[in-house]
């Protein structure tokens, strides 16, 4: 691999891979040193190694038709599993460091930190949103509403407009779900991360592995 400066490594993007709908060539598969289901999210460590090898990663410009959890409870625990994707970046760093010959520790370290930053954002953003809500509730501050509108309601509204022909919900109920449910869903999103961290602490104290949750899907 050609030697590059730390600045080049810092600017290189850490693109996260989603396992379903993934297209990859056989010669790239042959280069991969570590792909294992021992981690909670095998696609995360896979994406980290591909980014390290400077393989081009881009999203497929089509919507993916996939299954959904069959309950709010199942959705919550699905998110706790997904959080381990970026949260286990230090584990991936150690594994890849052992597996890849003549590894560039600086480059892998930078990319691993970028992946771990996704876990920090996963926790930080819903927490700040909830703090804004508490500020509004107790002091009458107005910051909550524009923040909720810009970061939650508007993106969900755009997503609905792009996918409305494929779902069986009428416009008025959908708008109500988006306006009321966006904040609730985002709060649950943040809570799933806290739950994952608590599970990790518990596993560390009692020297047990965190069980990987199997998502129950509609129609399964």
pLDDT digits (tens, 9 = 90+) for 143-156: 788 888 888 888 88
- pLDDT averaged over every residue in the chain: 83
Output the pLDDT for position 4. Answer: 64
pLDDT, average across residues 191-216: 85
Give the residue among 2, 54, 1 at the shortest CA–CA distance from 28.
54
pLDDT tops 70 at residue 29:
yes
- Alpha-helical segments (H) within 89-104: 89-99
CA distance 217 to 41: 18
Output the pLDDT for position 118. Answer: 93
Output the pLDDT for position 86. Answer: 93
pLDDT band at 218 (very low <50, low <70, confident <90, very high): low
What are the pLDDT digits (tens) for 74-106? 888 889 989 999 999 999 999 899 888 888 899
pLDDT tops 90 at residue 127:
yes
pLDDT, average across residues 108-134: 93
CA distance 115 to 87: 8
Output the pLDDT for position 148. Answer: 85
Per cent of the chain over pLDDT 90 is 21
Give the residue among 149, 132, 150, 129 at the shortest CA–CA distance from 141.
132
pLDDT, average across residues 191-220: 80
Report the helix count and the strand count for the chain, using DSSP H and E.
Answer: 9, 0
pLDDT tops 80 at residue 109:
yes
Q: Is the pTM of this model over 0.85?
A: no
Output the pLDDT for position 64. Answer: 66
pLDDT, average across residues 64-73: 74
Rg (CA), the chain: 20
Least confident of 18-22, 131-135, 139-143, 189-193: 18-22
Q: Which residue has the higher pLDDT, 63 or 83?
A: 83
Residue whose token pair is 């518990």: 202
């Amino acid at each position: 691999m050609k030697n590059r400066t730390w600045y080049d490594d810092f600017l290189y993007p850490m693109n996260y891979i989603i396992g379903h709908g993934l297209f990859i060539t056989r010669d790239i598969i042959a280069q991969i040193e570590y792909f294992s289901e021992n981690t909670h999210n095998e696609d995360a460590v896979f994406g980290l190694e591909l980014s390290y090898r400077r393989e081009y990663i881009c999203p497929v410009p089509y919507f993916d038709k996939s299954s959904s959890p069959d309950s709010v409870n199942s959705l919550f625990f699905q998110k706790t599993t997904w959080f381990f994707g970026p949260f286990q970046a230090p584990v991936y760093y150690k594994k890849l460091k052992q597996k890849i010959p003549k590894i560039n520790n600086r480059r892998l370290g930078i990319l691993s930190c970028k992946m771990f930053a996704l876990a920090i954002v996963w926790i930080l953003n819903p927490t700040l949103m909830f703090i804004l809500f508490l500020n509004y509730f107790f002091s009458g501050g107005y910051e909550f509403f524009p923040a909720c509108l810009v970061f939650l309601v508007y993106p969900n509204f755009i997503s609905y407009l792009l996918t409305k022909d494929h779902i069986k919900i009428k416009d008025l109920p959908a708008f109500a779900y988006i306006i009321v449910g966006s904040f609730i869903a985002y709060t649950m999103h943040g809570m799933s991360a806290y739950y994952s961290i608590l599970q990790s602490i518990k596993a560390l104290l009692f020297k047990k592995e965190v069980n990987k949750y199997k998502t129950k899907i509609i129609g399964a």
